[in-house]
């Protein structure tokens, strides 16, 4: 197209490393030393992580839709939601088909884990990556919209499909 651009790979890699990998390594090291204390005290990490996730989603939504430069009409938003739901359902269906083939070797419980784990992506990892890769880009809010829709869509679809998948799994295990 006659245009070129440069990508600061070392800067992006180092920021992603510091944002994602270093906290993971530190958490694993610290966990080794306080594992016994954690098992005795049983802190409410589930509730804490849910609150942090909700806060990240809320602040990202606020940042996205408070941006005056976002140019997203309602029809485009509906189309994006439809596409994301379609892609999510398609991926879930394909993973179901491949994991239930006769020669796959997966149990029904394995299939359920594959369906839910293979298609899920996290907003808590995606947003920091977007902010690092597209730092300074004026349309960052617009780029984050599909991820903002994808995450709640996977939660909604997962909760809607649980009864159906559970009954399938129970019938296959009998």
| DSSP assignment of 128-148 | HHHHHHTTT-TTHHHHHHHHH
Whether the Cβ atoms of residue 99 and residue 114 lie closer than 8 Å to each other: yes
Q: What is the pLDDT of residue 3?
A: 65
Cα 174 to Cα 34: distance, rounded to the nearest angstrom: 42
Whether the Cβ atoms of residue 85 and residue 160 lie closer than 8 Å to each other: no
Q: Which two tokens stand for residue 15?
A: 């920021």
Q: What is the pTM of this model?
A: 0.66
Q: What is the pLDDT of residue 30?
A: 92
Which segments of the chain have a pLDDT < 70? 1-5, 69, 119-121
């Amino acid at each position: 197209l006659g245009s070129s651009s440069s990508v600061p790979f070392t800067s992006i890699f180092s920021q992603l490393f510091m944002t994602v990998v270093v906290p993971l390594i530190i958490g694993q090291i610290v966990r080794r030393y306080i594992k016994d204390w954690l098992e005795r005290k049983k802190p409410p990490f589930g509730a804490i992580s849910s609150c942090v996730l909700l806060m990240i989603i809320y602040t990202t939504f606020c940042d996205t839709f408070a941006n005056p430069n976002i140019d997203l009409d309602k029809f485009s938003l509906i189309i994006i939601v439809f596409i994301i739901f379609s892609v999510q359902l398609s991926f879930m269906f394909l993973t179901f088909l491949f994991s239930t083939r006769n020669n796959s070797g997966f149990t029904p419980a394995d299939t359920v884990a594959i369906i839910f784990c293979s298609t899920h992506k996290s907003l808590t990892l995606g947003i920091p990556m977007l902010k690092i890769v597209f730092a300074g880009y004026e349309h960052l809010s617009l780029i984050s919209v599909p991820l903002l829709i994808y995450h709640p869509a996977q939660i909604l679809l997962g909760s809607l499909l649980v009864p159906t998948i559970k009954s399938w799994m129970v019938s296959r295990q009998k």
